[in-house]
């Protein structure tokens, strides 16, 4: 190995014209083509794109970990001046983990389940610096304290499954920092975590990178997150970098149609489902072996010019200082033109009360386990005194982090579980104690659900048409088979899928198309109430907009009540009429969208709003990071469920928060808050999100 003449003012990482292919028996599948990017010391570079665009492949190529089938077919990756593509396995091993470290998407899966945390951490300096075991453990203890985990000694002795998701990710970060690497690669490090936990992790990463002067390659599909963390970003589409530049440049002066389309399809503050609807990107992502000639984005681009854009390969071109774009028509497009306004839609008519919940409670009993039971039974209070009404044609969003009881509530409503006490009234029928198998067809077809993961909810061995017809049969729709087939085709029209899809198998459909089938099935029996459980969170950004719009359109036509369960406040703000915020089984705030998104807030809502990353440089946000994790529902804190993490607690005199569950307070306009804070304290709250004047 030759010592290179690299000096710290030169780029840490220089990727030039990198091409990566995967080789299968049938063909070579190019995953990344002609990719270049430069990361300077101390700089954070974001890699943004939808799933399948090749961003993770680039990251793994830097680590030279492409599996058996992947190979770098061209270009170079220079790390501190040395070409990684030419290194031997031994040289690579010395760089991995010591100079380049990686943080992964799923912390649970990336930690060895059968090794203690301390052993996994101490391993790094023991390999790379030949440190003695005791010394390595002492260093591990120090780094664990550095990533702000409580009780480091206990954590070092723990196994990964004994920690929460957020703690596990902190451990993965600690592992990456054990040898103070020069480059940190983060592959969607917070996608599997809750938003308030994500905010804590993002803060930590930023702080530590600054402290140790580490450069970062930050991979994410979330533009808001990239804006918070990175200095520069590269947007990728279908294996190519399409635009690269500083965050401010790309966000405010974007020069590629794909970047523009991406920004127009995400719900930013100011978007509104009626007056300023989202613009979905038409068409689908091309499969790697079906990429078009010329510009990959061509077939979906509004500015496509026949004979030019599809003539041949397009190179990156300079459009500003350290700002490049892969578009032939950069200088011809009017970038400041507002999006072609879609016809604004009339607001859906809000009708009578369809669904009413009164003091609904759902408790689970968890026995001590063992062959003969034994051990005291514990009660998990999944839902506490849930009361609300939902009207026809209304969208009620239910917001909260994992474990807040929103899915339990959906199960009780659907009849998969029965309520412990309280009432669910659908029109004038009590359904809280009727499990789904005892409900009549009318009730079952009237309350339907759209599930989170479209990949698991369709039967893989039945055609799409057959699955919808099956739902029609169960709901007792249609007089004959021909009749039902006709209804099925109409449903495909309704969800804007071509009728030819009736004979396709689920595996031939993309994620967004599958979700459309799921929606068609939910509406097969003319559902009056549809529970949408995170319906778009498994989908790519550009598809999310289309599926959300579809739901809104169907709702407008049928006057359906939509209960939209989500953790994504941006999309909730965009489409819902009213919002219900849940924490540990309690409804902590309920009001119209405007009421919930404006002060006074419940302290939890405030933190939640602050935690959601917003991809807009004009938005100023107050930073509120919650300490610790969500308490276990098995062992909730006494008094107010949020008191352990609340930053306003000191404003309530006499430790009231620790003793009593706050009563529901009714503020002006039907706005409800479950909090002990006085009216004066509530009025002092400032808005979390401010949009700066341009």
Write out the residues near other proteins by the rule CB under 8 A: 63, 65, 68, 93-98, 101-102, 104, 106, 109-115, 123-124, 127-128, 159, 161, 172, 175, 370-372, 374
**CB-wise, 111 or 229, nearer to other proteins?**
111
Least distance (Å) between residue 14 CB and other proteins: 21
Least distance (Å) between residue 186 CB and other proteins: 13
Tell me the two tokens of residue 255.
Answer: 């020069």
Least distance (Å) between residue 449 CB and other proteins: 31
- For residue 637, how far is the Cα from the chain centroid? 28
Tell me the two tokens of residue 322.
Answer: 């350290």
Beta-carbon contacts of 351 under 8 Å, excluding residues fewer than 6 positions away, are 391, 392, 393, 559
The alpha-helical segments, DSSP class H, found in 398-510 are 406-414, 441-446, 464-474, 481-494
**CB-wise, 162 or 440, nearer to other proteins?**
162
Measured in residues, the chain has a length of 694
The backbone torsions φ and ψ at residue 378, rounded to the nearest 5 degrees and listed phi first, read: -105, 150
**CB-wise, 9 or 89, nearer to other proteins?**
89
Least distance (Å) between residue 109 CB and other proteins: 4
Render 56-77 in DSSP notation, one character per residue: HHHHHHHTT--TTTEEEEEEEE
Name the nearest CA neighbour of 564 among 415, 377, 398, 358. Answer: 398
- Dihedral angle at the C-alpha atoms of 223, 228, 232, 237, nearest 10 degrees? -10
**CB-wise, 106 or 231, nearer to other proteins?**
106
**CB-wise, 287 or 366, nearer to other proteins?**
366
Instruction: Give the largest Cα separation in the chain, rounded.
Output: 81
**CB-wise, 187 or 417, nearer to other proteins?**
187
Least distance (Å) between residue 93 CB and other proteins: 5
Question: From CA 688, how far away is CA 601, in angstroms rounded?
Answer: 10
**CB-wise, 126 or 266, nearer to other proteins?**
126
Least distance (Å) between residue 84 CB and other proteins: 13
Report whether 588 contacts 582 (CB < 8 A): yes
**CB-wise, 109 or 138, nearer to other proteins?**
109
Hey, is 118 helix, strand or coil?
Answer: helix
Least distance (Å) between residue 370 CB and other proteins: 6
Least distance (Å) between residue 131 CB and other proteins: 13
Least distance (Å) between residue 123 CB and other proteins: 7
Cβ atoms within 10 Å, residue 638: 12
Least distance (Å) between residue 499 CB and other proteins: 40
Least distance (Å) between residue 162 CB and other proteins: 8
Question: From CA 275, how far away is CA 285, in angstroms rounded?
Answer: 28
Render 633-671 in DSSP notation, one character per residue: TTSPPSSSTTTTT-SSGGGSGGGHHHHSPPPEEE-GGG-
**CB-wise, 55 or 484, nearer to other proteins?**
55
**CB-wise, 160 or 506, nearer to other proteins?**
160
**CB-wise, 369 or 654, nearer to other proteins?**
369
**CB-wise, 167 or 467, nearer to other proteins?**
167
Report whether 15 contacts 77 (CB < 8 A): yes
Least distance (Å) between residue 122 CB and other proteins: 11
**CB-wise, 96 or 180, nearer to other proteins?**
96
Least distance (Å) between residue 51 CB and other proteins: 17
**CB-wise, 1 or 109, nearer to other proteins?**
109
Least distance (Å) between residue 12 CB and other proteins: 17
Name the nearest CA neighbour of 641 among 586, 591, 602. Answer: 586
The residue ranges of DSSP E strands in 10-132, in sequence order, are 13-23, 28-39, 44-48, 70-79, 82-83, 100-103
Tell me the two tokens of residue 73.
Answer: 């077919």
- Direct distance between the N- and C-terminal alpha carbons of the chain, in angstroms, rounded to an integer: 54
**CB-wise, 179 or 513, nearer to other proteins?**
179
Least distance (Å) between residue 68 CB and other proteins: 8
The backbone torsions φ and ψ at residue 487, rounded to the nearest 5 degrees and listed phi first, read: -60, -40
∠ at Cα 225 (31, 30), nearest 5°? 0
The residue ranges of DSSP E strands in 528-606, in sequence order, are 529-533, 561-566, 578-583, 586-592
Question: From CA 36, how far away is CA 49, in angstroms rounded?
Answer: 15
**115-122 — which CB contacts under 8 Å span 24+ positions?**
115/159, 116/156, 116/157, 116/158, 116/159, 117/144, 117/155, 117/156, 117/157, 117/158, 117/159, 117/160, 117/163, 117/171, 118/156, 118/157, 120/171, 120/175, 121/156, 121/171, 121/174, 121/175, 121/178
- Residue found by looking up tokens 């499990």 in the block: 435
């Amino acid at each position: 190995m030759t010592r290179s003449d690299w000096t710290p003012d030169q780029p840490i990482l220089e990727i030039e014209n990198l091409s990566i292919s995967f080789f299968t028996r049938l063909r070579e599948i190019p995953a990344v083509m002609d990719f270049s990017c430069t990361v300077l010391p101390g700089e954070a570079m974001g890699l943004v794109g939808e799933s399948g665009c090749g961003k993770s492949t680039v990251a793994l190529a830097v680590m030279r970990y492409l599996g058996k089938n992947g190979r770098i077919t061209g270009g170079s990756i220079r790390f501190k001046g040395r070409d990684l593509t030419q290194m031997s396995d031994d040289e690579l091993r010395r760089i991995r983990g010591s100079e380049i470290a990686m943080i992964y998407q799923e912390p649970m899966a990336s930690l060895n389940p059968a090794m203690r945390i301390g052993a996994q951490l101490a391993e790094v300096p023991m390999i790379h610096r030949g440190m003695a075991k005791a010394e390595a453990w002492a260093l591990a203890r120090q780094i664990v304290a550095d990533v702000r985990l409580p009780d480091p000694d206990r954590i070092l002795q723990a196994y990964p499954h004994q920690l929460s998701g957020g703690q596990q990710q902190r451990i993965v970060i600690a592992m990456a920092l054990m040898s103070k690497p020069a480059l940190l690669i983060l592959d969607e490090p917070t996608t599997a975590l809750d938003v308030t936990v994500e905010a804590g992790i993002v803060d930590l990463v930023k702080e530590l990178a600054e402290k140790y002067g580490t450069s970062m390659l930050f991979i994410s599909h979330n533009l808001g997150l990239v804006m918070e963390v990175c200095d520069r970003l590269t947007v990728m589409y279908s294996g190519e970098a399409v635009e690269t530049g500083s965050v401010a440049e790309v966000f405010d002066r974007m020069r590629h149609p794909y970047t523009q389309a991406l920004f127009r399809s995400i719900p930013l503050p100011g978007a509104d489902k009626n007056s300023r609807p989202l613009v979905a990107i038409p068409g689908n992502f091309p499969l790697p072996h079906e990429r078009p000639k010329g510009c990959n984005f061509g077939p979906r681009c509004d500015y496509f010019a026949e004979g030019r854009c599809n003539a041949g390969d397009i190179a990156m071109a300079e459009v500003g200082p350290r700002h490049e774009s892969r578009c032939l028509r950069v200088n011809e497009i009017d970038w400041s033109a507002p999006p072609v306004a879609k016809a604004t839609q009339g607001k859906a008519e809000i009708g009578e009360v369809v669904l009413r919940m009164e003091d609904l409670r759902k408790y689970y009993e968890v026995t001590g386990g063992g062959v003969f039971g034994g051990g005291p039974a514990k009660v998990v209070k999944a839902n506490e005194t849930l009361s609300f009404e939902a009207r026809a044609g209304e969208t009620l969003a239910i917001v909260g982090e994992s474990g807040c009881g929103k899915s339990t509530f959906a199960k009780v409503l659907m009849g998969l579980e029965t309520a412990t006490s309280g009432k669910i009234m659908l029109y004038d029928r009590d359904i809280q104690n009727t499990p789904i198998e005892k409900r009549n067809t009318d009730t079952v077809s009237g309350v339907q659900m759209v599930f989170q993961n479209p990949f698991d909810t369709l039967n893989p061995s039945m055609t799409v048409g057959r699955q919808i017809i099956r739902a029609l049969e169960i709901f007792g729709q249609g007089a004959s088979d021909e009749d039902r087939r006709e209804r099925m085709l109409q449903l495909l029209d309704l969800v804007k899928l071509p009728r030819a899809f009736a004979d396709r198998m689920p595996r031939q459909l993309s994620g967004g198309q599958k979700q459309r089938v799921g929606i068609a099935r939910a509406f097969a029996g003319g559902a009056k109430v549809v529970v949408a459980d995170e319906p778009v969170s498994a989908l790519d950004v550009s598809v999310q907009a289309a599926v959300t719009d579809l739901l809104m359109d169907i709702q407008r036509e049928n006057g359906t009540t939509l209960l939209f369960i989500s953790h994504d406040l941006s999309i909730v703000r965009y489409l819902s009429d009213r919002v219900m915020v849940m924490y540990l089984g309690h409804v902590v705030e309920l009001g119209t969208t405007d009421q919930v998104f404006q002060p006074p807030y419940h302290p939890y809502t405030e933190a939640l709003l602050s935690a959601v990353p917003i991809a807009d440089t004009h938005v100023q946000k107050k930073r509120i990071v919650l300490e610790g994790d969500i308490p276990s529902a098995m062992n909730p804190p006494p008094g107010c469920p949020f008191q352990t993490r609340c930053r306003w607690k000191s404003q309530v005199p006499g430790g009231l928060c620790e003793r009593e569950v706050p009563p529901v307070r009714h503020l002006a306009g039907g706005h409800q808050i479950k909090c002990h804070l006085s009216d004066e304290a509530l009025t002092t709250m400032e808005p979390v999100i401010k949009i700066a004047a341009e």
